[in-house]
Structure 1
């Protein structure tokens, strides 16, 4: 399945949302496109979402996420968990059909929900 329906140098679309990789602006594509339909991701959440979007439906190991998102800095599991939680809350707030699933002790996978 091809989850990234539209990809340019600055934007990605997956499901019903669009992410601007430069600004971190994230919007629900089905909504009227005015400033109130946009929300902004934090730096780590943006990096995590960008990384997960590049390999949709594939489990990404926690160590690889930390290496990529935190540039090899020492990071606790708690920091990763908080970042994932914040990203999930953000995705939920824009009524996205994207889901991030945890595979305990292994990593995370991003996929498009089949439920309406």
Structure 2
């Protein structure tokens, strides 16, 4: 999971740099690039929350820490996306709503692709 998160964070940072370059170079696309950056920030936060949840489930499956723990599940990830949407709705002159929502869905797709590539490499004996 750490290797996947490292890959996802690197890709997110590369996309963020590209958005900042677009923001600086193309004034007509400033709201789109800032909206995408806002969504990307929410997506990154959700990825870290999901990583924490997966580690917690793995710990419980291994027999450790049997206390019930709440607050790092689906509701916090939904709240993050709602916060992104509310920011884009509240400040339409700064953030583009469709770009923000697309950006908030980017990292789960990146993690899925990275996991499938990693799994393919492991099954072929390259990993």
TM bracket (short chain): 0.3 to 0.5
Structure 1 or 2: more helix by fraction: 2
TM-score (norm 1): 0.39
Structure with higher RCO (Cα < 8 A, 6+ apart):
2
Highest CA radius of gyration, 1 or 2? 2
TM-score by length of 2: 0.36
